[in-house]
């Protein structure tokens, strides 16, 4: 196997092959969904650390949910909608 074949297989795995419908490892994620995932994962990390420090298991659960869900939702709109809902839940929980 030469270098060109190896690079072609890596490109198919990561970026997807247009002839096969573009179903690669990262083909469903846009820049906005990655930015949203980073933003809400950061909020989730802060919520988790706060919950762990104060023994508040509700903050820890929502924090873990905020950190994990972007991996399963490739749509940018979906990432922002779910992240906004979970962040609003944190806000309401903090006000109680």
**Token pair 């979970």 is at which residue?**
86
Rounded distance, CA 35 to CA 26, Å? 14
19, two tokens: 């002839």
Residue boundaries of the structural domains of the chain:
28-95
Among 3, 1, 89, 2, residue whose Cα is nearest residue 40? 89
* 27 CB neighbour count, 10 Å cutoff: 14
What percent of the chain is predicted at pLDDT more than 70? 78
Confidence of residue 67 (pLDDT cuts 50, 70, 90): very high
* pLDDT, tens only, 3-42: 777 777 766 665 555 555 555 555 567 889 889 999 999 9
């Amino acid at each position: 196997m030469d270098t060109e074949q190896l690079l072609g297989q890596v490109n198919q795995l990561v970026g997807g092959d247009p002839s096969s419908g573009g179903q690669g490892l990262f083909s469903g994620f846009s820049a906005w969904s990655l930015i949203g995932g980073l933003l809400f994962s950061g909020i989730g990390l802060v919520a988790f650390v706060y919950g762990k420090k104060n023994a508040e298991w509700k903050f820890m659960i929502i924090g873990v949910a905020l950190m994990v869900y972007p991996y399963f939702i490739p749509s940018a709109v979906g990432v922002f909608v779910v992240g906004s809902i979970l962040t609003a839940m944190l806000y309401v929980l903090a006000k109680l």
